[in-house]
A and B are shown apart, each in its own frame.
Chain A
Amino acid sequence: MSAVADLLLSVDGVTVDYSGFKALDAFSMTLNRGETRVVIGPNGAGKSTLCDTIIGRVRPSDGRVIFRGEDISRLPEPAIVGRGICRKFQAPGVLPMLSVRENLALAARRDRRWWKSVGIGIPAGDRQVIEETLELVGLAERADIPGGQLAHGEKQWLEIGMVMATGAELLLLDEPTAGMGPAETSRTAELILGLGAARSVLVIDHDMSFVEQLGAPVTVMHQGRFLKQGSIAEVRADPDVAAVYLGHAA
């Protein structure tokens, strides 16, 4: 297979301009099918804006986002999800009044037009995905309690589960370990590594031990620009990266 056939996502020279402040400045990166990539960078580097741009929450003033060969940067948000991209937000975005299972049921539904929602109960065709996801994120025992009653780490897992249950090919995980202890962080890394080659994952995180556990290639951003890409060891050894980021963190 050629490299082009493997290409899933290409962010091509994207600029996001907040009235003069460039959150993204001609930023480019590519992601292959089945690849897991970690994006790091100091606060304000544009990591979350990158996610926002890919899912259509923010529109680029310049550049394109190409997903499976199609420019998606002008599509409505639900259409982008329909193409196979789903995002976990930084603050857990579970729905507090719905049960854990209902949260996943909402995500697992493929036909999301409103008139298809006029019916009672979870359609049988969705239940296998829902139960599998419950097992995977370790919430099978907690399936019937409201999402709002979960512990913080469990909420993060539920939202990761929701993103998985949509069947998306590209998962954007914005700080999936925020607020987690070391044990929870390790479990989250296992969860992401367990996704296998069927999914591509773009992870944004600050926690270097988590990034090491993922063992994935790292892209470093700084002030909205691409700075460096390589293995975690290469990035750690890079003097430019140390200057802008690791130097402060260490």
Chain B
Amino acid sequence: MSKLVPPAPLRRAKPALPWVLLALGIAAPFYLGAYDLNLLARFMAMAILAMGLVLIWGHGGILSLGQGVFFGLGGYAIAMHMKLADLPAGEMPDFMVWSGREALPVWWEPFASPAFALAAILIVPTLLGALFAWAVFHRRVGGTYFALITQALALAFATLIISRQDVTGGFNGLTDFYSVFGFGLASPGTGTGLYWLTLAVLCLAYLGLRWLLASRFGMLLRATRDGENRVRFLGYATTPFKTVAFAIAALLAGIAGALFTLHAGVVSPALIGVVPSIEMVVWVAIGGRYSLAGAIVGALLVNLARDAVSSAFPELWLYLMGALFIVVVTLFPNGLAGLLKGNRA
């Protein structure tokens, strides 16, 4: 194992797009106002989730229509912490009082600890994603059936949250946060700090995934996507590869959800159900599902467009996104990234 030959994708020309994106990301806080920077930071959080879809959908052939679930788990974990952190000792969050609850649910209590909340953001989505993926893939369920099961998962999760208003905040979700880990959310310094944190996580996730996709693990994931039987009958158990990839995508979605909640100041079922989960896939289809940088661009552009269009013509947005999706999938199956640099895995 001393001398290693780099695989083909790393030896090809260095792409310029990631560097351009990084430069824009670093320049943004010096040119944008607080409102626009906050908006950009939300979209960058979405881009972290989108890169997870490149891993599982683009390279693993696993279409998940339920990434909103993992996004929501991360988002609710940090939101629960902030609800408790702002309270005087012994009190309950406002919505619980309004729902007539007598006491804080036991499973809420540990979220008062920042360390527990952080651990929950990282561990809960990953573990749930791994268990779910293993249970499904182990039974050799895949393709369209898998996509439908993930969609059902998103529906069930959103329904569960709406139906348990007294402990989840119901349809309105959790909102009205004042501070996180001791920093006041109203101060402009916290906003800028959270922006840098999001940029740093985005870069780390990009580098980590780029390495993973170039590794033998990435090669095996693509091989399993294109010929699972061939890989299996070369002696590989294929379920673990797909399960690990899915768990990593769930982890990224959880982190994205937590960061988004910090920027948006709210997490609610409207952000994590079936429709948002499908929108996440649309960002990646438009940006290019084989390309990490493409997925970042897709998440940013679609969300920017959504913001512009839906503030002027709110009822038009879904039609426009649907049309864009159809055009991209039929004419440019590799998305914007495919237009830029040809079909590069």
Q: Which of A78-86, A176-184, A226-234, A242-250 contacts B (4 or more CB under 8 A)?
A: A78-86
User: Could you tell me the distance in whole angstroms from the C-beta of B235 to the nearest C-beta in chain A?
Assistant: 3
> B226 interface residue, CB < 8 Å from A?
yes
Complex Cα–Cα for A75 and B227 (A): 21
> A5 interface residue, CB < 8 Å from B?
no
Residues of B within 8 A of A127 (CB): 5
When the two chains form their complex, are residues B232 and A77 in contact, meaning their CB atoms are under 8 A apart? yes
Q: A89-B229, A95-B230 are in contact. Are A120 and B235 (CB under 8 A)?
A: no
Q: A95-B223, A97-B226, A114-B244 are in contact. Are A121 and B234 (CB under 8 A)?
A: no
Q: A96-B226, A106-B223 are in contact. Are A124 and B7 (CB under 8 A)?
A: no
When the two chains form their complex, are residues B222 and A97 in contact, meaning their CB atoms are under 8 A apart? yes
When the two chains form their complex, are residues B220 and A117 in contact, meaning their CB atoms are under 8 A apart? yes
Residues of B within 8 A of A55 (CB): 233
Residues of B within 8 A of A94 (CB): 227, 230
> A93 interface residue, CB < 8 Å from B?
yes
Residues of B within 8 A of A109 (CB): 216
Residue positions of B touching A, CB distance < 8 A: 1-8, 10, 211-212, 214-217, 219-220, 222-223, 226-227, 229-237, 240-241, 244, 345
Closest to B236 in A: A112
User: Which of B6, B235, B244, B345 is the most central at the interface, judged by chain A CB atoms within 10 Å of its CB?
Assistant: B235
User: Could you tell me the distance in whole angstroms from the C-beta of B60 to the nearest C-beta in chain A?
Assistant: 12
Chain A, residues 38-80, CB within 8 Å of chain B (1/0): the string is 0000000000000000010100000000000000000011100
> A32 interface residue, CB < 8 Å from B?
no
User: Could you tell me the distance in whole angstroms from the C-beta of A176 to the nearest C-beta in chain B?
Assistant: 15
What size tier do the contact residues of chain A reach?
35 or more
When the two chains form their complex, are residues B241 and A114 in contact, meaning their CB atoms are under 8 A apart? yes
When the two chains form their complex, are residues B233 and A81 in contact, meaning their CB atoms are under 8 A apart? yes
Residues of A within 8 A of B231 (CB): 95, 106
When the two chains form their complex, are residues B227 and A121 in contact, meaning their CB atoms are under 8 A apart? no
When the two chains form their complex, are residues B226 and A78 in contact, meaning their CB atoms are under 8 A apart? no
Residues of B within 8 A of A107 (CB): 234
Residue positions of A touching B, CB distance < 8 A: 55, 57, 76-78, 81-82, 86-87, 89, 93-99, 102, 105-107, 109, 112-114, 117-125, 127, 144, 162, 166
Residues of A within 8 A of B236 (CB): 78, 106, 112
A-B contact pairs, 25 of them (CB 8 A): A55-B233, A77-B232, A81-B233, A86-B235, A87-B233, A93-B227, A93-B229, A93-B233, A95-B227, A97-B223, A102-B8, A106-B236, A114-B220, A114-B237, A114-B240, A117-B215, A117-B216, A117-B241, A120-B4, A120-B216, A121-B4, A121-B6, A122-B7, A162-B234, A166-B235
User: Could you tell me the distance in whole angstroms from the C-beta of B209 to the nearest C-beta in chain A?
Assistant: 13
User: Could you tell me the distance in whole angstroms from the C-beta of B286 to the nearest C-beta in chain A?
Assistant: 22
Name the contact of A120 in the complex, choosing from B6, B222, B223, B233 (C-beta under 8 A): B6
When the two chains form their complex, are residues B219 and A112 in contact, meaning their CB atoms are under 8 A apart? no
Residues of B within 8 A of A97 (CB): 222-223, 226, 345
When the two chains form their complex, are residues A120 and B227 in contact, meaning their CB atoms are under 8 A apart? no
Complex Cα–Cα for A166 and B231 (A): 12
User: Could you tell me the distance in whole angstroms from the C-beta of A58 to the nearest C-beta in chain B?
Assistant: 12
Closest to A95 in B: B223
User: Could you tell me the distance in whole angstroms from the C-beta of A162 to the nearest C-beta in chain B?
Assistant: 7
Complex Cα–Cα for A162 and B217 (A): 18
When the two chains form their complex, are residues B345 and A124 in contact, meaning their CB atoms are under 8 A apart? no
Q: A93-B227, A93-B229, A144-B8 are in contact. Are A120 and B215 (CB under 8 A)?
A: yes
Closest to B343 in A: A97
Closest to A108 in B: B234
Name the contact of B235 in the complex, choosing from A99, A112, A123 (C-beta under 8 A): A112
When the two chains form their complex, are residues A81 and B215 in contact, meaning their CB atoms are under 8 A apart? no
User: Could you tell me the distance in whole angstroms from the C-beta of B189 to the nearest C-beta in chain A?
Assistant: 39
Closest to A125 in B: B1
User: Could you tell me the distance in whole angstroms from the C-beta of A137 to the nearest C-beta in chain B?
Assistant: 16
Complex Cα–Cα for A99 and B6 (A): 13
Closest to A107 in B: B234
